[in-house]
Amino acid sequence: MKAFRMAVCLGAALLLLAAAVAESVPPFSLTITTPHPEVKAGSGVRVDLTLTNNSDRVAEFQFTGSLCDYAAVEVRDSAGNLVPDTEVKSKSDCAHQEITGANGMYRLKPNESKRDTIAVSMFSDMSKPGEYSVQVMWKAPKEFDSVVVKSNTITVTVTP
Amino acid sequence: MTLRQCALISPLFALLVLGSGARAQNCSLAGQWTGSYSGDSSGSVAASFTETGTSVSGTVNGLSVTGTNDGSQVSLGAVAKHGYGSASGTFSADCSTLSGTWIAVNTKKHKTKTGTFTIIQCGAPTMMFNGANIAGQTTSVVAGQEIMLTGQAPNQECVSATVSQQWSLPLENGKQTKNAVGGYTPTPTSYATASVTPLPTDTTTTSYGPFYFTSPGTYTMTYQYTFDINGASGTSPVSTATFTTDGPTGVSLLICGGDIDENDGADCTGNGPLGKVAINPGPVLQFGGTAGNVGIAMTATATAPPGNFTWVQRIMGDVVTATPSAGGAVQTCYPPEVPAVGVFPGLDTAYTYPIVNPAGTTAYDNPSVGLPNSYKKVSRAFSAMMNLMWTPTAAAECTGDACTIPVPLGYVNWKVSATAKLNKKGTWVPSGSGSAHEFVASSSYPTWTSWVTYMGSLVCH
C-alpha cells in the first residue's frame, strides 16, 4: 500500500512537471531577419518577420499591415539608446488607431507562420552611420492573455 | 598631276601583293576605312569599298579605284582617273586593319614614289548587355528587368578614335516605345511618395540605361559612333539589338467577398457579391471583417514567366462624418496621412499592399472605423483603387534594388459607403454597402505624393 501511494505521488509529480514544461513554451515566436545587414547611410533598412503559432490552439487576429500591428519596434544605437523616431512615426498614435484602410483577418493554426515586412528606417532614424540593434514586439490576442512576444535581436550596420 | 594630287592618291597604288599568306578568316574590304600613308609624302586616307565576289570597287580620297580581295590578299589597281600606281596590303588578324605598300609612278617630279599605308575599318560597334555582345542579335528579356547597355567600337584603334556616340531611345516598330521607363521609385524601404523615372535622356555616352520594358513585345535599340583618325572622320554603321520581352499575358482579375475563407488565403473562384457593412467588436463600423463576411477580395491570374503579382492600393477618398451624441456640429474627419490629411489619392498603409494571401494571388480588404461613445452617428465614404502589377524574379547574378521593377497590369476601382447609428437601446445599427468596378487593363503606373498611414486617430474639423 505504501509503495502504491508513493507511485501515485510520483506520477502526479511527473504530470505537474510535464504540464509546467508545456506551459513554459511560449505560444508564439517571432523571428526577425534582414536581407541587408550592412547598408549605406541613406539606404533603407528592412526587417522581415515570421510569427509562428507554437500553441495547440488556433489564433485569430486582425492585421492592417502598418507599424501599429506591433507593440513596439525598438531600434537602438551602439550605446543601447533608442534612436529618435522619424517624423512619420512621431506623428502616429498607434495607441489610438481608430481607422484602417488595409485590413485583413488572419487565422494561424498550430505551427503555422505568418510573414511580414517592416520598413524600419521609415520609422526610426537610422540615417547616421553606426551599428544598430533591432527588436520587435507583438501582442498576442486576448485569448492568449495578450502576452507580448519578443523577437530575437538583430544588428544592422549603416556605413558612411 | 600635282604633287598634292599624287600624294592623295598614292596610297592606293601599289598594291599587288598581299601579304603574308592565306589565313583562316575571310576578311572583307567592304565598308569605310580611314588611316594614313607615309613615304616620300604623307597624309590621311579615307576610303570606301564595296565587294562583289572577289572584285572590289570604291573610292580613295574621292578617286575611284578597283581591285580584288580574295579574303587574304588585297590588290588595288590604278586610280581610274589617272591610270597609274598601285597598292597591296594585308589584313590584321581581326580583319580590322589593312597595312601595305603603295607605289606611284609617272609623277612629274618623281618617276617613282613609294611608301606604306595603314587603314582601319571602324565597323559596326558592339552592344554589350550582361557581358555579351548583343549587336545584331535577338535577346530574350523580361518586362521589369533592368537593362543597361554599353556600346563600343569593335577594335581599340577605333575606340581611341571615337569622337561621339549616339544611342536610340527604346524603339518599337522603329518608333520610340511607350512601353519603357527609367525606373519606378517606391521600394519596400521607402514609399512615402512614388513616381516613374523617365527614360535616360543622355543618348550620347558610352552606356545607356538603366531602363526597363514594361510590357511584353519586341523592341530594338541602336547605337553608332563617329570617329576621326588622323583627320579622316567617318560614321560607323548602326548596330541594332533586338529584345523579345516576355511578361504576363492573359491577365484577369476576379472580384468577390462575403463567404470566402480569407483566413485560409482563399482565392476568388468567380466574380461574386462583396461583403456586407457590419458592426464588429470594438465596436467598429467595418466592411466585412469576420469569417464568412470578407469585405472584398481580388484574385489575379495570368500566364507569366517566373515572378509575382505586386499589389498597390491608393485611397481615392476617405471621409468620416460623425454626429456628436451631446449635440453640436457634425464633424468631418480624415484618416492620418502625411504630409497632410484629406489629400487624395494617397498610398494605403504600405507599399506593397500588405493584405494578400501567401501566394500573392489574392488581395483582401476590410476597412474599419471606430465607434466612440461620444458619437451617435458615424458615416464613412471610402473609395480606393487597387493596382495590380507584376514583378519578375531577379536573375541570381543581379544584386541590389534596381534589378527588377514591377510593371503595371491594371486596376480596380471600388468603394464603400457605410453608416452606423446608435439606436435607443444603445446598439449600433449598420447600413450601407460596397461596390466594385470591373478590372481595367492599364499600363499606367500608380503614383502618389501622399501617404495615408492609418497610424492613429481621426483628424476632425
Give me the domains of chain A, ranges plus CATH numbers. 26-159 (2.60.40.2970)
Whole-angstrom distance, CA of residue A124 vs CA of residue A136: 12
Among chain B residues, the shortest Cα distance to A45 is held by B189
Q: Which residues of A touch B192 (CB under 8 A)?
A: 88, 122
CA distance B122 to B229: 10
Query: What is the second-level CATH architecture of the domain B3-121?
Result: Beta Barrel (2.40)
**Mean pLDDT (chain A, rounded):** 89
Residue A119 distance to chain B (closest CA, Å): 5
B334, closest residue in chain A (CA to CA) = A99
Is residue B337 less than 8 Å (CB to CB) from chain A?
Answer: no
Domain ranges of chain B: 3-121, 126-246, 249-460
pLDDT in tens, B41-73: 888 888 889 999 999 999 988 889 999 998 888
Whole-prediction pTM? 0.86
For residue A69, give the nearest of A149, A133, A1, A157 by alpha carbon: A149
Percent of residues, chain B, with pLDDT higher than 70:
92
Q: Which pLDDT band, with edges at 50, 70 and 90, does B114 fall under?
A: confident
The least confident of B172-181, B197-206, B392-401, B426-435 is B392-401
pLDDT band at B8 (very low <50, low <70, confident <90, very high): very low
Average pLDDT over residues B263-280: 91
- Comparison of pLDDT for B377 and B10, the residue scoring more: B377
pLDDT in tens, A118-158: 999 999 999 999 999 999 999 999 999 999 999 999 999 99
* pLDDT tens-digit readout, B324-335: 999 899 999 999
pLDDT tens for each residue of B231-256: 778 899 999 999 999 999 999 999 99
pLDDT at B193 over 50: yes
Interface confidence, given as ipTM, is 0.85
Using a pLDDT cut of 90, give the percent of chain B over it. Answer: 73
pLDDT band at B230 (very low <50, low <70, confident <90, very high): confident
pLDDT, residue B268, reads 94
Strand duo B284-287 + B307-324: pairing: unpaired
> Is B258 within 8 Å of B300 (Cβ atoms)?
no
Whether B79 shows a pLDDT value over 80: the answer reads no
> Is the pLDDT score of B2 beyond 50?
no
% helix, strand, coil for chain A, step of 5: 25, 40, 40
pLDDT band of residue B263 (cuts 50, 70, 90) is: confident
**Cβ separation of B365 and A102 shorter than 8 Å?**
yes
Q: Do A45 and B318 touch (CB under 8 A)?
A: no
Confidence of residue B93 (pLDDT cuts 50, 70, 90): confident
Nearest CA in chain B to A114: B358
Instruction: Say which of A65, A96, A117 has its CB closest to residue B349.
Output: A65
**Which of B264, B452, B456 is opposite residue A101, by nearest beta carbon?**
B452
pLDDT higher than 60, residue B126: yes
A133-to-A36, A38, A78, A83, A157 alpha-carbon distances in Å = 13, 12, 7, 10, 9
- Taking the C-alpha atoms of residue B126 and residue B219, their distance in angstroms, rounded to an integer, is 18
Can you give the pLDDT at residue B24? 45
Mark which residues 17-46 of A lie under 8 Å from B by CB: 43-46
pLDDT band for position B106 (50/70/90)?
low
The reported pLDDT for the residue numbered B157 is 84
What CATH number was assigned to the domain covering residues B126-246? 2.60.40
Q: Which residues pair with B302 in a beta bridge?
A: none
- A46 and B189: CB-CB below 8 Å? yes
Spell out which residues of chain B touch residue A100, defining contact as CB-CB under 8 Å: 349, 367-369, 454
**DSSP code for B193:** S
Residues of chain B neighbouring A87 (CB-CB closer than 8 A): 338
The residue of chain A nearest to residue B364, with distances taken between CA atoms, is: A104
**Is the confidence at residue B318, as pLDDT, over 50?**
yes
Contact B369 A97 (CB under 8 A): no
pLDDT in tens, B303-315: 999 999 999 999 9
**Rounded distance, CA B447 to CA B436, Å?**
21
CB contact under 8 A, A60 and B349: no
Band the pLDDT of B21: cuts 50, 70, 90.
very low
Residue B13, pLDDT above cutoff 80: no
Is the pLDDT at A15 greater than 90, yes or no?
no
Rg of chain A, C-alpha, whole Å: 21
Q: Do A103 and B289 touch (CB under 8 A)?
A: yes
Average pLDDT, whole number, for chain B?
90
Query: Quick one: pLDDT at residue B107?
Result: 57
CA B422 vs CA B290, B323, B419: distances in Å: 21, 10, 10
Check pLDDT > 60 for residue A14: no
Q: What is the pLDDT of residues A35-94, one digit of tens each?
A: 999 999 988 999 999 999 999 999 999 999 999 999 999 999 999 999 999 999 999 999
Cβ contact (<8 Å) for B370 and A46?
no
A127 touches chain B (CB under 8 A): no
Contact B457 A68 (CB under 8 A): no
Same fold, B3-121 and B126-246: no
Q: List the single residue in B264, B369, B384 with the smallest CB-CB distance to A98.
A: B369
Sequence-distant (6+) residues with CB within 8 A of B124 are B135, B136, B154, B236, B237, B238, B239
3-state SS, A43-98, equals CCCCEEEEEEECCCCCEEEEECCCHHHCCEEEEECCCCCECCECHHHHCCCHHHCC
- For an interface test with A, give the residue of B310, B313, B352, B355 to mutate (most A CBs within 10 A): B355
Q: pLDDT-based confidence at B86, cuts 50/70/90? A: confident
- The answer, yes or no, to whether residue B9 has pLDDT greater than 50, is no
- Verify whether the Cβ–Cβ distance A99 to B286 is below 8 Å: no
Specify which residues B16 forms β-bridges with: none
